[in-house]
A = this chain, B = another copy of it.
Amino acid sequence: MSPFRSVTSGVQGAASTFTNAALQVLNGAVHPWKVARVMGRLVMRPVHRPGTPPGALTYTGAREAADVRIRLLEYDAEALREEELSSVTEALPIRDSSPVGWLNVDGLHDPEILREIRDHFGLHMLLMEDVASVGQRAKLDDYEDSIFLSLPMLSFHRESMTLEVEQLSLILGPAWVLTFQERVGDVFDPVRERLRSAHGRIRSRGADYLVYALMDAVVDRYFHILEQFGDAAEEMEGRLIQDPTPETLLGVNHLKRELLVFRKSVWPLREAVGAFSRTESSLVSEATQVFARDVHDHVIQVIDTVETLRDLASGMSDLYLSSVAQRTNEVMKVLTLMASIFIPLTFVAGVYGMNFEFMPELEFRWAYPAVLTFMLAAGGSMLWYFKKRKWI
């Protein structure tokens, strides 16, 4: 009868695991640092130590033991060369290569590698600091000879049922694209696939089109996560109506917070992608900007949906409160009914249980049946009164 026990009976389905996992986290069954992580995604980490000079290349994310993985992909309409590099220097020729070169770096914890890249491609030191100090707002910075774009890469962590936010950095130069991820990921795989298959349009276009394709792949991910959120919201609403337990409320609260994380991550992207699609930089062709506008539309659609889901979750909280108030009212009615009928009757019984010597009624033969009849009548009229007032 604990108010916060974990009830898992009832509605079944894929999404139901969402709520259960969420409840485990919230009920403290799961290790507390998980909750901490939830909060950590909202409060952004300081970009660098107060007062240190700008341009530091210290990675501010969670350091991992894995090696840094560097992959180079050079292509034009005819040919494609793919290579895994052991050091950055091998990639250096691409700078002046006429075909498009794409250098992808997975892992940011080696400042030396970042410094080499920065120096070779002549990148602004603030740009490279933004790559290393992850946890920033999505943004586009135009440094004339290169464009920096940071995107939140979202993924849905099935075990803890929380959003994971990773920062992707894209740098667009005249004929090359640099991409940086915190961990080895698969979000760019479909683009890589399209590059490998020779017949794709993508091979015959420039580096700016590659940036578009990468942005598009990231944004498309959002829709899948939204679908999972939508499923969870649906399932919670079903529960709320059928059996509003405190767990459901905690689930709604968890959902609200994850949506807060989602919104906070995606909101600034609107501006960044919009800037890309309107930039007057010579690095981006007008033909590509038409495609970028499409991504922009999708980002707006994602934001719209997140806001709508937030509205829905708000409505659920209100529904829960009204529902609890209504139930308390029901409980009260039962209590009042029982008490109102039997307390007066008990009083009457008490009166005739008194031990006074001179209580003439006690000796009348018909007194007992009369009192019983009176009690029945009194109880009945009480019932009738409550019926009339629609309490029962």
Chain B residues with CB below 8 A from A293, complex form: 141
Range for the number of chain A residues in contact with chain B: 35 or more
With beta carbons under 8 angstroms apart, the residue of B187, B318, B326 that contacts A317 is B318
**In the complex the two chains form, is B50's CB within 8 Å of A221's CB?**
yes
A390 (CB) vs chain B CBs: closest residue: B243
- Can you tell how many copies of this chain the complex includes? 5
**In the complex the two chains form, is A249's CB within 8 Å of B53's CB?**
no
**In the complex the two chains form, is A339's CB within 8 Å of B343's CB?**
yes
Known: A223-B45, A336-B335, A338-B340. A330 touches B1 (CB 8 A): yes
A-B contacts, 10 of them at CB < 8 A, read A50-B187, A53-B213, A54-B216, A54-B291, A328-B328, A328-B332, A342-B343, A342-B346, A349-B350, A353-B355
Known: A308-B42, A322-B317. A53 touches B354 (CB 8 A): no
Segment 39-67 of A: residues with Cβ below 8 Å from B? 39-40, 42-55
Chain B residues with CB below 8 A from A319, complex form: 249, 253
Stretch of A79-87, A115-123, A190-198, A276-284 that contacts chain B? A190-198
A372 (CB) vs chain B CBs: closest residue: B351
Is A352 in the interface zone, CB < 8 Å from B? yes
Chain B residues with CB below 8 A from A253, complex form: 315, 319
Chain B residues with CB below 8 A from A264, complex form: 304, 308
Kindly state the separation between the CA atoms of A227 and B260 in the bound complex, as whole angstroms: 17
**In the complex the two chains form, is B368's CB within 8 Å of A354's CB?**
yes
Known: A325-B325, A339-B338, A346-B350. A39 touches B234 (CB 8 A): yes
Segment 167-187 of A: residues with Cβ below 8 Å from B? 187
A354 (CB) vs chain B CBs: closest residue: B352
Chain A at the B interface: mostly helix, strand, loop or mixed?
helix
A256 (CB) vs chain B CBs: closest residue: B315
Kindly state the separation between the CA atoms of A350 and B162 in the bound complex, as whole angstroms: 58
**In the complex the two chains form, is B246's CB within 8 Å of A312's CB?**
no
A214 (CB) vs chain B CBs: closest residue: B51
Segment 364-387 of A: residues with Cβ below 8 Å from B? 364-365, 367-368, 371-372, 375
Chain B residues with CB below 8 A from A32, complex form: 238
Residue among A53, A124, A233, A257 with max Cβ neighbours from chain B (10 Å): A53
**In the complex the two chains form, is A331's CB within 8 Å of B391's CB?**
yes
**In the complex the two chains form, is A35's CB within 8 Å of B237's CB?**
yes
Kindly state the separation between the CA atoms of A42 and B226 in the bound complex, as whole angstroms: 10
Stretch of A69-77, A93-101, A294-302 that contacts chain B? A294-302
